[in-house]
Amino acid sequence: MSRNILIAEDEPQNRKIQLTRRNYNVAEATSSHEAHATLIEKKTFTVILGDLNLPDGMNAQHIDQSRKRTDQPKKTYVTRASRRALFSGVLASLFALALLPASATAQLNGGSLGTERAPAAFENSNFLNSQLDKIIRKSNLTGAPSAGRTLPSINEPKAQLGMKLFFTKSLSGEYDVACVTCHHPSLGGGDDMSLSIGVDVLKDDLLGPGRRHNPTGEHYDGGPTVPRNAPTTFNLALWDEVLFHDGRVESLGKTVGANGDDLLGIRTPDTPLGVPDPNAGDNLGAAQARFPVTSPEEMKNFVDFAGLTNAEVRDNLAERLGMYGTPAGSPQFVDNWLEEFRVGFGDPSGTATALVTYDNIADAIATYENSQVFDKTPWRSFVEGNTNAIDSSAKTGALLFFNSVAAGGANCVSCHTGDFFTDEQFHAIAMPQIGRGKGDGANGDDDFGRFRETGTMEGMHAFRTPSMLNVTETGPWGHAGAYTTLEAAVRHHLNAEQAVATYDYTQLDPDIQTTNLISNTQNALDTLENNRLVGMDTLENVELTDLQVQDLLAFLNSLTDPCVTDRTCLGQWIPDASDSNPDSLRLNGVNDAGDFL
C-alpha cells in the first residue's frame, strides 16, 4: 500500500523541531510500504498534522498554507535506488513519523483525517497512549461509570424476585408475553430485532429473529407491532436523566449518580411534562417498569384489560399474582408468589395485600434490571492504566471518537460524552423511519420523537442519545432499528444524507413496514438541515476513510464488557431449572432454531 508522507517547510517562525525515533528501520519500512516523501527545497522540515492534541503550531493550517503556495517546488518521489542517500539528510524527521497514529499522519483534507492508513511501523503505541492520556485527563474520565453508585447485586433476594417477575407471563394481559420477551440478556438486553413483536404471536417463547405476529392477532398487517426498537436493559442503573427513546420517563432533579433517586421527583406518561408522578417509585427503573404492562402491543393485549386505565391494569395484575380481589381475565392455576415476595422483601409474615402490590412488583423488577451493570470493558482497563488492554486500531479509533471535526476527528464525543458515553439529551439525526410509527405525520406512520413529549420544535424527530457501552451487542441501531450493522449506523452519523440516499432495504426483515420510509425519513433530514441552519448543535458531515471507520469500530468494540458475550456469565440473570417457578408460567426463550437462549 502506497503512502504519502507530507513534509512541509517550517512556518515563518522557522521553528526547528528535534525529531527522534528508536529502533526504526527506514529501509525496511520504505520497502514494505512504498512510503513517499514530498520535499521542500529548504532543508528544514515539519511534520504536517491535525490538532489531535499535538504540539503547538502543528495544525491543519500548515497543510492549507503549504498547498496554496505558488512557489512550492514540484513533488519529488523517492525511488528505491536512491532512498538511503536521500533519507540520510532527513532521517530524524522521518523517524518521528513513527510516533504518529495512522489517522494523524495521513494527509488532511479540509480538517478531516487522512485518506490512507499509516504503515504499522508508524503506529507507535507510546504516542497513542500519550495522546489518549491527555484526553482522559482533560475529560476527567475514569472508565468506570458505575463507580460511586449504590447498585444491587443479582444475588440479593429482591433482585432474584425481580428476575422471576421479569420472566413470567403472568404480567401480560393474556399470559402470552413477559418483560423478557423484548429484553433478553442473551440478546443484548433487547430482542435483536429492528422492531419488536409483543402480544399475539405464533410462538410465545420464540424470541428474536423469526418471531412473527399471528394473522389472527389484533391489527395484523404482517409486520412488527411495536413502533420502536427495544432499548437494552444493560446498565439501566447508570441513566440519571431520562429513559425511553423520547424521554417520557424523566428525572426532574437530574442529579448525577442518583438514577432519579434524589427526592425531586420523576415524571412519567401518567403525569404532564414537568410534573412528578407520585407513584413513580424510587428510581428511573422502577418508574419505567410501570409502563410496558399498560401497552396493548407490548404486554396488555386488547381483550381482558380493554378499557382499563393504566392504574387499573397494574392493580389487576397485582391482584392476579397475590390472589386477592377480583382481577379481570382468567385466574392463575398455580400461584406461589406470596412466599416469593416475603423472601424478596424480607417480611416472612407479610400479607398478599401488603406485599404483592404493583409498587413492589416494579421495585423488584427495577432491582433486577439495575443489577445488570456491565462496564468492565477493555477501554476501562486502558483508562485505569493497562495500556495493552486495547490495540493500536482501537486507540486510533479513540482519537477519532474524542477529537473534533476541525481537529481531524469524528466528534462522536459531542453527544456520547463521559464514561457512560451519552449526554442523555435528544438529537435529530434522521435515522431511517421504518415500521408502523407513532401515529404522526400525514400518513400516521412517522415518529416525531421528543416533540411528542415537549411539543417544541427542538424536539422534532429528536431521540435520546444511547450509551455506547456494549453497543456492539445492542443492535439493531436507531430508534426504529433501521440499521442492522453497527458499521452502517456509524456511517449514517458521518453523513446522514448520503446514508439515507444509499440505504439498503435488504438488511431489513421483509415483513417490516417501509411504505413511507422515504418521505418520512426525508422529513427527518429536513429537520436535521433546519437545525444546522439555525445553529443548533447537531451532526456534522465527516469524511473518514474505510480504514478509519474500521479503527472507530475497533474502539467501539473496546466498550463491550466480555460478560455480555458469555452465556455462562449472563446465566446469573437467566433463571434455570434450579430456580423456583412460582406460577409455572416462566417464559423460557428459544431462538428460531429452537435452542434455548
pLDDT digits (tens, 9 = 90+) for 47-79: 323 333 433 333 333 323 333 333 333 333 333
Q: For residue 426, what is the enclosing H or E element? A: strand 426-427
Domain ranges of the chain: 3-138, 157-370, 412-541
Distances from the Cα of 352 to the Cαs of 160, 279, 305, 317, 521, in angstroms? 18, 19, 22, 13, 50
Q: For residue 453, what is the enclosing H or E element? A: helix 451-454
- Taking the C-alpha atoms of residue 321 and residue 513, their distance in angstroms, rounded to an integer, is 37
Per-residue model confidence (pLDDT) at position 71:
36
Distances from the Cα of 319 to the Cαs of 167, 194, 342, 580, in angstroms? 18, 34, 16, 21
Write out the chain's pLDDT in tens, 597 residues. Answer: 333 323 233 333 333 223 322 232 322 332 222 332 222 222 232 232 333 343 333 333 332 333 333 333 333 333 333 333 333 333 333 333 333 444 444 433 333 343 344 444 345 889 999 999 999 999 999 999 999 999 999 999 999 999 999 999 999 999 999 999 999 999 999 999 999 999 999 999 999 999 999 999 999 999 999 999 999 999 999 999 999 999 999 999 999 999 999 999 999 999 999 999 999 999 999 999 999 999 999 999 999 999 999 999 999 999 999 999 999 988 899 999 999 999 999 999 999 999 999 999 999 999 999 999 999 999 999 999 999 999 999 999 999 999 999 999 999 999 999 999 999 999 999 999 999 999 999 999 999 999 999 999 999 999 999 999 999 999 999 999 999 999 999 999 999 999 999 999 999 999 999 999 999 999 999 999 999 999 998 999 999 999 999 999 999 999 999 999 999 999 999 999 999 999 999 999 999 999 999
Architecture of domain 412-541 in this structure:
Orthogonal Bundle (1.10)
- Taking the C-alpha atoms of residue 522 and residue 123, their distance in angstroms, rounded to an integer, is 41
Closest CA to 238 of 385, 375, 37, 341: 375
End-to-end CA distance of the chain: 44
Q: Are 300 and 294 in contact (CB under 8 A)?
A: yes
Q: Is 272 exposed, middle or buried (0-12, 13-18, 19+ CB in 10 A)?
A: exposed
- Taking the C-alpha atoms of residue 316 and residue 356, their distance in angstroms, rounded to an integer, is 11
Q: If you compute the radius of gyration of the chain from its CA atoms, what whole number of angstroms results?
A: 28
CATH homologous superfamily of 157-370 equals Cytochrome c-like domain (1.10.760.10)
Same-fold call for 157-370 versus 412-541? yes
Can you spell out the DSSP letters for 230-276? ----TTGGG--SEESTT--EEESS--TTSTT-SSS-EE-TTS-TT--
How is residue 3 annotated by DSSP?
A: E
SS3 call for 14: coil
- Taking the C-alpha atoms of residue 418 and residue 398, their distance in angstroms, rounded to an integer, is 13
Per-residue model confidence (pLDDT) at position 125:
84
Query: Any residues with CB less than 8 A from the CB of 68 and at least 6 apart, and which?
Result: none
Closest CA to 563 of 235, 289, 244: 235
Per-residue model confidence (pLDDT) at position 76:
33
Amino acid identity, residue 158? K
Q: In this structure, is the dihedral angle defined by the CA atoms of residues 86, 90, 95 and 96, taken in order, positive or negative?
A: negative
Helix axes 337-344, 157-166, angle to 10 degrees: 140
pLDDT digits (tens, 9 = 90+) for 408-467: 999 999 999 999 999 999 999 999 999 999 999 999 999 999 999 999 999 999 999 999
Per-residue model confidence (pLDDT) at position 514:
98
pTM, entire model:
0.82
Q: Are 391 and 306 in contact (CB under 8 A)?
A: no
Q: Which three cell numbers stand for residue 8?
A: 512541509
